[in-house]
Each structure stands twice: as structure tokens, then as C-alpha cells.
Amino acid sequence: MKCGACNVDARMRDETAINLDPIQVGGRLTPEAMKAMISWGDGYSVCDACKKPFRLDYIEQPPLKDFHVDMAEWLGMGQARTVPGARRGFQQVAGTYVEKGDPVLIGALAHYTSYLSVEIQQGIVREIPKTADNHITAEAAAERIEDVITEFGRPPKLLYIDHVDYQYGNMHDVKGIAKVAHQYDIPVLYNGVYTVGIMPVNGKDLGVDFIIGSGHKSMAAPAPSGILAATEERADEVFRTTQMEGDLTGRRFGIKEVGILGCSLMGAPIVGLLASFPTVKERVKHFDEELANSKIVIDALASIEGTKILSEMPRQHTLTRLDTTGSFDVVAQTHKKRGFFLSSALSKKGITGIIPGATKVWKINTYGMTRKQAEYVADTYLEIAETNGLTIQ
Amino acid sequence: MSQRAADAVFQGLFSLTDIRSILRITAPTHELDEEQKKKVEKALASVEKQIAILRGELL
């Protein structure tokens, strides 16, 4: 089916199947956001009632002004702004503090956009190594800060830490790392791309200077969307307003913020964030139910002989990395569909989101499933394993 | 201007969206429990009502 007269197929992935895609499940729209899209999808729709001082976070209808205040409070931070994706939040923070040649510390499991946000400032990344069990620790952060001081003669300008990393879905000691960083007056950027909107997050408790969340990854909003929140102490820096003046025209630009080039997020993305926000605030309180569903699926997979769970156990997040080299990949060696047998078998049972052909190392995310769906996924994996001669322990 | 017609279009689409959300939480088998069936009944009744309004307002 096409979307009307255009050449775009209607996308029905989540209406017809259970989606396990690690990056998609937390960003699926709530019914409220879908409805808001229907009426607010036009480009500059939220600007209908934009009045002086002509800035996005001052718009009262739809209630964006209140939304920004509520978001900051919910995250335990001083102020919040929307950004077109978490990466733009990284860029905004790096753009505020990092200059050419400045060192920045980044956890070794970080997303590539963290690195690029430093590169665009011509800064220099130094990594905090992961432990053998794939964690970033306060001890490792402390050692690397000292290394940077030795190498550069000054501490890093910033420290980036993912609360839950995208590679293993492991949880890292943000509080401990922030405590160490602050002993050197290093501002800490908390990457909450897999946590904000998924599980409770409070910046004050964690002791971080900035929180970045992703609307389209974890807050049930359209892409590109995200949140950048800062402590009150850092807000004047990262949300600084323009001082620019045209030399010929004398034009000035009010209180537009420099870091994100004025109004950051308009139309569908911000209305989606706004419409989903009440549900998102509520759903983080039920993360234990999400973990229980994840356990059903992961326990089933772990019971297939030869399968290894590469993420920390017990699981603290619904994103999990697995190694099935000793199970499903053994089947793939002789199956007529080779590595595609697994995704094909899952597809036939109405399960999607796994990279076609992947039978060695892969990831799933069970977030947002009902209990019935989790049991269905678990049963399906076991059925596929048994059908293909694998042993269930 | 027919505000009634505009309202009916949006309300109809919103009701269909409620059905869409039930498709999502019941995928892939779409075996609905009694509560979900009641929600679908309610949404369908709303859609039918909005269609009747649109017929009256626009045709």
C-alpha cells in the first residue's frame, strides 16, 4: 500500500509484527503522539501563536513553555531545551566548552557522534577504557584524567559518559565518575539516549552538569528530536543568547540562543515529544515490568546451548547483546538459507528488527512489549532452535 | 467553513489511531481480549458517526 499518490510505501512494521530493533523500540510513538502528528505535522505549525520574545520555549499554545519547565524539573536539572537529536545536544555542549586542541574524555563504549562533536571543535578525544566485563568505571576515569593532565598540562574540558551504552546495554557508574570529574572541575555530560524516557533519571542525584536524551530513540517522538538539560550553574553558558549585530544594518536578534542557532525543533518532532511526555513520565515508573519481560526473552535465548549473553547479568536494561556463534551460527553453516535462516524464520512468525543474516553477534531490545508478546518471542526462539536441532538446556 | 466537517475528519482519524495502537500491542496474532474488543467497537462506532457527519456536511 502506498501513502496516497506518492511513491512511499505505508510502513506497518509495528502493526504487523513484534519489533526487536535495538534503536527503534523506545522511539515508537504513543497514540497521543500519532494523533498530534495528524493535526500538527505541517512544517511551522507550532509557530501559530509565537509572540515576543519569539522563541520556541516561550510558546504557550501548544504549551511548549510549560513543557520545557516540566522537562527540566522531571530530570532534576535547572533548564532544558529541545534539540534535533541527541547528537546536536553533544554538539551544543562541545561548542560551548571545547576549542582547538582541547582534550575531552569519552567513555570507550560511546556512540560515534560523541567523538564527532569534539572533532568539529577541533578538540582531541582521549578515551576512558572499558573493563574486561565492558564497564566504564570511576577508577578508570580518574586514571585517564591524570593521564590527560600529564599529556596536556591541564584537565579535560569535558567528560562524556553514557549511563547505558548502545553496544552492550550495560549500566555505568555515572555518579562515581561525575564525583571524580568534579574533583578536577570537569563538567560532565550524561548521555541518556537509552535511559531518558525509558527509566527514571535525575541529574541532581547523579551529579551531572548536562543531560542529553533522544526523543526518537527513547521518548516516543518523531526524529529528529532530543533534549538537552543543564544545571542552573551551566545554563547561562550552554544556552547563551546572541550578542551579534550586523555591521551595516545594525540588526540584532533578541534572545535567540547561539548554541542551537535559535529555535531548535519545530512542527512534528516537538509536538510528538510534547504529546508523548505524560505517557513517558508514567512509563519510566514501570521499568521493572520491562525488565521482567526482557528476562523472559533473554532466559529463553540463554537456554539454547551454545548461546552467550554478552551484556552484564542480571540485565539492568532491555537492550542486550548476544553471541550465537555456538548455536544459531552453527545451524547457518549448513542451512540452505545460510545465515538468513534465522531472520527468515522469525519473520514467518511475525518477529522483525533483527539484522537479516546475523547469526553470530547481534542485539535485541525488548522494550515496549506486552507480557504476551515477550512470551511469544521467547517461545518462537526456542521453537526455531529445536526445529533446527539445537539443544535446549 | 464547516467546523463540524473538520472536527469529524480529525475525530475519525483519532479513532482509527486507537485501533492502530491495538494492532501494535496485539501483533502479530491480533488475538484481542474482551477489553480490547470493546475498545475497537467503540472506535469503530466513532468512525461511523464521523463518516455520517461528513456525508451530511459535505455531500
**Which chain A residues contact residue B32 at CB under 8 A?**
none
Q: Which residue of A has its CA nearest to B15?
A: A35
Which whole number is the average pLDDT over A103-111?
A: 98
Q: Is residue B50 classed as helix, strand or coil in its secondary structure? A: helix
In angstroms, rounded to a whole number, what is the distance separating the alpha carbons of residues A26 and A217? 5
pLDDT of residue A144: 98
What is the residue-wise DSSP string for A2-48? BSTTSS-BPP-HHHHSEE--TTTGGGPPPHHHHHHHHHH-STTGGGT
Please tell me if residue A14 touches chain B, with a CB cutoff of 8 Å: yes
Confidence of residue B1 (pLDDT cuts 50, 70, 90): confident
> Which ranges in chain A belong to alpha helices (H)?
13-16, 31-40, 64-74, 86-97, 112-119, 138-152, 174-183, 203-206, 215-218, 232-238, 268-283, 287-302, 328-334, 340-348, 371-387
3-state DSSP assignment of residue A168: coil
Burial class (CB in 10 A: 0-12, 13-18, 19+), A250: exposed
Digit-coded pLDDT (tens) for A182-225: 999 999 999 999 999 999 999 999 999 999 999 999 999 999 99
Tell me if residue A370 falls in helix, strand or coil: coil
Mind listing the pLDDT tens digit for each residue in B46-57?
Answer: 999 999 999 999
Q: What is the DSSP string of A35-57?
A: HHHHHH-STTGGGTT--TTT-GG
Distance from C-alpha of B16 to C-alpha of A301, rounded to nearest angstrom? 36
- Please report the residues numbered 26 through 45 in chain B whose beta carbons come closer than 8 angstroms to any beta carbon of chain A: 26-29
Which residues of chain A does B10 touch, with a Cβ-Cβ cutoff of 8 Å? 38-39
Average pLDDT over residues A18-29: 98
B31 CA: distance to closest CA in chain A (Å): 11
Residue of B nearest to A33 (CA): B17
| Partner B contacted by A39 (CB < 8 A) | yes
Instruction: Check if the beta carbon of residue A282 is closer than 8 Å to that of residue A118.
Output: no
| A282 reaches B (C-beta below 8 A) | no
Residue-wise pLDDT for A274-316, tens only, equals 999 999 999 999 999 999 999 999 999 999 999 999 999 999 9
At A5, the amino acid letter reads A
- What is the average per-residue pLDDT within A380-391? 98
Residues A5-19: pLDDT tens digits?
899 999 999 999 999
Q: Quick one: closest CA in B to A30, which residue? A: B21
CA nearest to A346 within chain B: B28
Worst-scoring range by mean pLDDT, A3-7, A120-124, A126-130? Answer: A3-7
| Residue A373 pLDDT greater than 90, yes or no | yes
Q: Using the beta-carbon criterion (under 8 Å), do B28 and A370 form an inter-chain contact?
A: no
Name the residue among B10, B18, B27 with its Cβ closest to that of A18: B27
* pLDDT on residue A2: 94
Nearest Cα neighbor of A27 from A296, A226, A267 is A226
- Touching check for B25 and chain A: CB below 8 Å? yes
Of B14, B27, B29, the CB nearest to A15: B27
Chains A, B: CB contacts within 8 A come to: 40
Nearest chain A residue (CA) to B33: A372
A18 contacts in chain B (CB < 8 Å): 27-28
Residue B5 to chain A, least CA–CA distance (Å): 14
Minimal CA–CA distance to B21: which of B51, B42, B52?
A: B42
> For A313-364, how does the pLDDT look when each residue is reduced to its tens digit (9 = 90+)?
999 999 999 999 999 999 999 999 999 999 999 999 999 999 999 999 999 9
Q: How far is B25 from chain A (nearest CA, A)?
A: 7
Q: What are phi and psi of A358, to 5 degrees?
A: -80, 120
Give the mean model confidence (pLDDT) for residues A106-113.
Answer: 98
Q: How many CA atoms lie within 13 A of A315 on its CB side?
A: 29
Which phi-psi region, left, alpha or beta, contains residue A33 (left: φ > 0; alpha: ψ -120 to 50)? alpha
Q: What is the ipTM of this complex?
A: 0.97
Q: Which pLDDT does position B27 carry in this prediction?
A: 98
Type of residue found at A98: V
What radius of gyration do chain B's Cα atoms show?
13
- Report whether A107 contacts A129 (CB < 8 A): no
Tell me what pLDDT residue A149 has. 98
Chain B neighbors of A31, CB-CB under 8 A: 17-18, 20-21
What's at B53, amino acid-wise?
I
User: pLDDT tens for residues A256-266?
Assistant: 999 999 999 99
Mutate to test the interface with B, among A1, A11, A13, A14 (most CBs of B within 10 A): A14
